[in-house]
Each structure stands twice: as structure tokens, then as C-alpha cells.
């Protein structure tokens, strides 16, 4: 596994754990908001990985 992929996996899991723990502290929000935020975070990480992979391959 290359370092770029591993880095983005770690970034994704850190963000998801952060969102999960912040959801546990705030009982007033709906789980749909958490799901949408996590989905958006997944898209950001996926796009970030793709762009970085493309930039690394271009070198």
C-alpha cells in the first residue's frame, strides 16, 4: 500500500472518529446530520486522495 493511500485512510478515520465523538456529546442533533457530514467528509477525502495521487504520478 502506498503512503498516499495510507495517509488519506488515516485522515478519513481521524475525521470520522472526531465526528462520532462530537455526536455523542450533542444529543440534540439528528443522526441524519451526522450521516451527511460523514458522507461529505468521505467525498472530500476521496477527492483529496485522487488529486494527490494524480499529482504524484505526474512527477
Tell me the per-residue pLDDT of 1-46, one tens digit each, with 9 for 90 and over.
Answer: 689 999 999 999 999 988 888 776 666 667 787 888 889 999 999 9
pLDDT of residue 47: 96
So what's the pLDDT on residue 28? 62
The three three-digit cell numbers of residue 33, written as one number: 446530520
| Per-residue pLDDT band at 56 (split at 50, 70, 90) | confident
Select the more confidently predicted residue: 25 or 49.
Answer: 49
pLDDT at 6: 94
- Alpha-carbon distance 29 to 1, whole Å? 37
Is 37 buried (19+), middle (13-18) or exposed (0-12) by CB count in 10 A? middle
Query: How many helices (H) and strands (E) would you count in the chain?
Result: 2, 0
Q: Hey, how many other C-beta atoms are within 10 angstroms of the C-beta on 8? A: 19
CB count within 10 Å of CB 5 equals: 12
28 secondary structure, DSSP code: T
Amino acid at each position: 500500500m502506498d503512503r498516499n493511500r495510507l495517509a488519506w485512510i488515516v485522515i478519513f478515520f481521524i475525521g470520522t472518529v472526531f465526528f462520532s465523538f462530537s455526536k455523542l456529546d450533542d444529543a440534540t442533533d439528528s443522526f441524519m446530520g451526522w450521516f451527511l457530514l460523514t458522507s461529505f467528509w468521505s467525498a472530500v477525502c476521496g477527492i483529496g486522495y485522487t488529486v494527490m495521487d494524480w499529482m504524484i504520478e505526474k512527477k
